[in-house]
Homo-oligomer: A and B are copies of this chain.
Amino acid sequence: MGEEIVVIEGDGIGREVVPAALEVLEAFDLGFEFVSAEAGDATEEATGEALPAETYELAADADATLFGAAGETAADVILPLRDAVDSFVNVRPARAYPGVDAVRPETDVVFLRENTEGVYSGHEGRLSEDLSTLTRVVTSSASRELAEFACEFVTDGRGPVGGPEDGFTVAHKANVMRETDGRFRDEVLSVAEERGVDADEELMDAFATKLPLDPTQYGVVVCPNLAGDVLSDLAAGLVGGLGLLPSANVGHDNALFEPVHGTAPDIAGQGIANPTAAVLSAAMLLEYLSYGEEGQRVRDAVEGVLSDGPRTGDLGGDATTDEVTAAIVDRL
């Protein structure tokens, strides 16, 4: 029996793009055992819970999970799911593809986003009628674990070229958050030094100015949680939107893969959603499970289709999700 993969379509176009990604995975006949699970707005309506305990447990016990998107309940679904797979890093590649309209076609950046703390560990409170607080948390241990991952990532040659040679850039706001982002920055840079990996740093606001001006300055970018959220979404805007961006939430012996896009309610249910981000998330899943060759074949097929195959409406075409998916499967 092969690896157990939990499949959560979620809401909106999640119900269209996840089946497309599954079709691609099934084309390899790797003996995966797919287990469906429910989460999202519709699940909350039906059961009272956006993320039922059963789904959480399934994801926690699986070898990997493929997730689509959730609507209003997104945070209630995705944040616990990241926890279920014990994920400490969110890997978010943002690259432009030849032939796809992009504000900055030279963009090729991978964000390694801390995935457990910062404002997301969420100790919030209403202290008075007038005042609320949120306590942001940064630990050396989480910062160092992320940095170790980043060092391996660049040493394995998995990062794009750009930024310090074979190294990475740390983006942070340690000039204001001196103690917390200062700790993050110091730990990440010190791990890089111990590992002999080149690393430089950039204030996150300066990064937000400089990325659009010249994305080729950057390759692998290591960030605290919220910084990684915003800066990777900025990069998405430069490569032409969210329709192409996959992501991996990697844990110690489990992982969760999801397109960066949401449920796209304006086009949901019409069969015209772009499956690319979900299919590329499946490619990341294959690579994570050590099916590197298969993952590469998926990437090549996707690139081929993007350059001269059918396109969905978001890329200026009029193909359906099924047509694009069939074209990808055809090229595997």
CB distance from A73 to the nearest CB of B (A): 10
Q: What's the least CB distance linking A214 to chain B, in Å?
A: 9
Q: Which 7 A-B pairs have the closest CB atoms?
A: A212-B237, A124-B179, A208-B234, A205-B233, A209-B237, A209-B233, A134-B136
Q: Does A231 contact B208, Cβ atoms closer than 8 Å? A: yes
Is there an interface contact between B176 and A119, defined as CB atoms closer than 8 Å?
Answer: yes
Nearest chain B CB to A237 CB, angstrom units: 4
Number of interface residues of A (CB under 8 A): 54
CB-based nearest B residue for A136? B134
Residue A297 is within 8 A (CB to CB) of chain B in the complex: no
Is A229 within 8 A of B211, CB to CB?
no
**Bound Cα distance from A136 to B226, whole angstroms:** 14
The answer to whether B173 touches A226, judged by C-beta atoms less than 8 angstroms apart, is yes
A135 touches B133 (CB 8 A): yes
Query: A126 contacts which chain B residues (CB < 8 A)?
Result: 179, 183
Q: Which B residues are CB-close (under 8 A) to A233?
A: 205-206, 208-209
Within 8 Å by CB of A237, from B135, B180, B210, lies B210
Residues in B with CB closer than 8 Å to A183 are: 126, 132
Q: Name A121's closest neighbour in chain B (CB-CB).
A: B133
Check if A124 sits within 8 Å of B177, measured CB to CB: yes
- Nearest-neighbour CB distance to chain B for A103, whole angstroms, equals 5
